A and B are shown apart, each in its own frame.
Chain A
């Protein structure tokens, strides 16, 4: 499993629940290290162990925690860079939602060895969309649900986003737009610190 994915879990736990919680997770997982390296690859077992330990120390279903991770990734000041990368996907909400189709390709442009599940947006009506993800990163659909919900908010719209279940490597995220311009949304300028 890509180190960046595991580092995201680590940052989520550390930023939202403190370093002690992360130390607890590492102890529960039986790791002899306490810091994931985002530029390295880890084996699948390390990823599975991390998720199991995550559920255990959070004392909540892993699906819920994964949605929180999605929210964290799209809104926490420490992951502002990621939120910016997501906002580059579209000048408005429609463009953003459609850009999710190219999410794995966009990610691969930056990190050629980070393979994300293929994502497909379907537009059922003016208000109703669904995202289908094909892949085997555990919890990915739930992370995506949290992330999309937060990004819709970022664009100033109001929506219901829920995980529609899944199985056999396919997960669905359901999006119901209630209001397209609910708030101003958060600022986004094309120029950032890195540019």
Chain B
């Protein structure tokens, strides 16, 4: 018994449901069942291939005779009917060497095509990975969605945590917000105290010449100095890049505060070694002592400390100035005030 080969039409409809068979004259003689759905109104058999498809690439394929040159190559096709679905294709001579067989696939346009033509799983050859690609698209968007939700959640948690943070991330000293709270607390509890505003001198040049790592190293050392030279109930905070505030409770006389300031400045001026380079800084201090007679105002005290600090800077840095109303006169007059060196 001779086995009769299946007609190629039947074979190809199973293996390649998106193929077309074309005669030597360029007319479609057969269309696969899935491709047929892409042109629901139009006829296929008898139409000229190039009137149904436009060849986007390679460019310039205008005539059937030119298909000879592109057999076996990757074709980019577009259906001329709306919605102008794009397809990938490959064309080859048929077994009789008279006509052509063009097979097509959706390529990247599969998402739109499946929707536009309401295709189902049965429309794809069992070997076609399109359904798996659709699965992947949905699975990935679900995972992305969960991931996005997590990111939003983490972002808002981070913001909330930052808002609640009371310490400076680098030095572990209190931050500006926490210092403001402590200052209010001192005032509310009528605790007598001194406010020392310390501004590092020459810190910027360390940062600029030796880099931020050196700068951070110096700041950590500064924080260590403050911790060592203050008492347990003193409050130290970093309120700016190179600005620190010390709240010193008690009724220490100005001379004692002068000594504290001097010790701090001396310690700051000890060069710090960073990878072989000596980092040299100093500090200027403006100090204000709470008035025992009238309840102090936080903003006023900070402003007074600023004025005293400015006087220290003006006096050549590396010194401490105690606030006195005359400093404001000197500030406006532009004359150098007297500083406690």
Chain A residues in the interface with B (C-beta under 8 A): 4, 37-40, 81, 84-85, 88-91, 95, 106, 109-111, 189-192, 194-195
Contacts and interface: CB of A to CB of B under 8 A. Distances in A.
Contact of B118 (A84, A89, A95, A189): A189
Given A39-B146, A194-B138, 10 more contacts: A4-B146, A39-B150, A91-B121, A91-B131, A106-B139, A109-B136, A110-B136, A110-B143, A192-B138, A195-B111
B146 A85 contact: no
B143 A88 contact: no
A88 B134 contact: yes
Interface string B109-141: 001001100111110000000011011111111
A191 B137 CA distance: 10
Contact of A81 (B122, B132, B134, B142): B142
Contacts of B132: 88
A194 B137 CA distance: 7
26 contacts: A37-B150, A38-B146, A38-B150, A39-B147, A39-B150, A84-B138, A85-B138, A88-B121, A88-B131, A88-B134, A91-B120, A95-B121, A106-B139, A110-B139, A110-B140, A189-B118, A189-B120, A190-B114, A190-B121, A190-B131, A191-B134, A192-B138, A194-B137, A194-B138, A195-B115, A195-B134
A109 B140 CA distance: 9
Interface string B141-170: 111001100100100000000000000000
A190 B139 contact: no
A145 B291 CA distance: 79
Interface of B: 111, 114-115, 118-122, 131-132, 134-143, 146-147, 150, 153
Contact of A190 (B120, B141, B147, B153): B120
A85 B115 CA distance: 17
Decide if the interface of chain A is mainly helix, strand, loop or mixed: loop
B120 to A, nearest CB: 6
A88 B138 contact: yes
A81 B144 CA distance: 13
Contacts of B138: 81, 84-85, 88, 192, 194-195
B135 A88 contact: yes
Contacts of B111: 191, 195
A15 B137 CA distance: 26
A190 B142 contact: no
Contacts of B115: 191, 195
Contacts of B143: 110-111
**Top 4 A-B pairs ranked by shortest CB distance?**
A110-B139, A91-B121, A88-B135, A191-B115
Q: Which of A85, A89, A191 has the most CB of B within 10 A?
A: A191
Q: Which of B115, B140, B142 has the most CB of A within 10 A?
A: B142
A143 B142 CA distance: 21
Given A38-B146, A39-B147, A190 B136 contact: no
B138 to A, nearest CB: 5
Nearest to A40: B150
Nearest to A91: B121
Contacts of A4: 146
Q: Which of A39, A89, A106, A109 has the most CB of B within 10 A?
A: A39
A39 B142 CA distance: 11
A129 to B, nearest CB: 20
